[in-house]
Amino acid sequence: DAGVIQSPRHEVTEMGQEVTLRCKPISGHNSLFWYRQTMMRGLELLIYFNNNVPIDDSGMPEDRFSAKMPNASFSTLKIQPSEPRDSAVYFCASFFGDFSEQFFGPGTRLTVL
Amino acid sequence: SQQGEEDPQALSIQEGENATMNCSYKTSINNLQWYRQNSGRGLVHLILIRSNEREKHSGRLRVTLDTSKKSSSLLITASRAADTASYFCATDFQGAQKLVFGQGTRLTINP
């Protein structure tokens, strides 16, 4: 298995532009998580899905952020409009079951100028 | 606020020495996990310990859990340069599937 796949790996954009991050979880995993990592705030959970349904989006910073999971093999995190303070590394992770290890993707490093 | 907090924030030791990192958390848990993150990479799961377990081993890793003190420790024995990374503890939050991560301990192994 290729593991959790994220794209793009790096994204540089200008303030105000729309940004879409993509994630393909490991086949068979039924839970998917989006995290954001910065030096100041560490690793923050933004939203997670179980069986393609959003369960907890309390970590989504504001309405500019939205996430979808149209099927079991694909999820997107969209920021519109983007702001410089959104600059961070965004990770996607997946797992199967109730309480078990999460498998992380390599992350997308987002820079908003 | 963070559920898990690691201590120390940074640790630098000589190759071959043992490294101990601690984690404290605030609420009751079902399990506690430790992850490693190499610079520029995603997190990698190291070990999971359940709330009814007190100690667990995996290779050179030893994890302990004290639920009465709401704390855990990760011991890496006979450290190697390749162990240089950040180490995070993570706990489930109020029985939910989501994990809450601490700020991490940055471990540097000097050759």
Residues of B (37-76) whose Cβ lies below 8 Å from A: 41-45, 48
What is the band of B7 on the pLDDT scale with cuts at 50, 70, 90? confident
- Distant-in-sequence, close-in-space partners of A72: CB < 8 Å, separation ≥ 6: A25, A30, A51, A52
Alpha-carbon gap, residue A78 to A20, rounded angstroms? 4
Say how far apart CA A87 and CA A38 lie, in whole Å: 8
What is the C-alpha to C-alpha distance for residues B38 and B46, in angstroms, rounded to an integer?
13
Name the residue among A56, A91, A98 with its Cβ closest to that of B42: A91
In chain A, residues with a C-beta closer than 8 Å to the C-beta of B98 are: 33, 45, 48, 55-56
pLDDT at A29: 93
A38-97: per-residue pLDDT in tens? 988 889 999 999 999 999 999 998 899 999 999 999 999 999 999 999 999 999 999 987
Residue B23 pairs in a beta bridge with B6, B72
Q: What's the pLDDT tens digit per position in B10-39? A: 999 999 999 999 999 988 888 999 999 999
Q: How many CB atoms lie within 10 A of CB B73?
A: 17
Cα distance between residue B17 and residue B68, in whole Å: 29
Question: In degrees to the nearest 10, what's the CA dihedral of A84, A40, A91, A67?
Answer: -60
Tell me the pLDDT tens digit for each residue of B44-101: 999 999 999 999 999 999 999 999 999 999 999 999 999 999 999 999 876 667 888 8
CB A47 within 8 A of CB A61: no
pLDDT class of B1 with cuts at 50, 70, 90: very low
Residue A99: per-residue pLDDT? 67
Cβ-based neighbours of B79, under 8 Å, separated by 6 or more: B13, B14, B15, B16, B17, B18, B19, B109
**Percent helix, percent strand, percent coil in chain B, to nearest 5:** 5, 60, 40
Identify the closest residue of chain A to B31 by CA–CA distance. Answer: A99
Query: For tokens 């430790």, what's the residue?
Result: B34
| Binary contact (B31, A99; C-beta < 8 A) | yes
DSSP one-letter code for A85: G
Between these two residues, B7 and A5, which has the higher pLDDT value?
A5
Work out the percent of chain B whose per-residue pLDDT is above 70: 94
Question: Would you call A101 and B48 a contact, using CB atoms and an 8 Å cutoff?
Answer: yes
- Between the two ends of chain B, the Cα-to-Cα distance in Å is 36
- Residue B2 has what pLDDT? 47
SS3 A58: coil
- The contacts of residue B53 (CB under 8 Å, 6+ apart) are B65
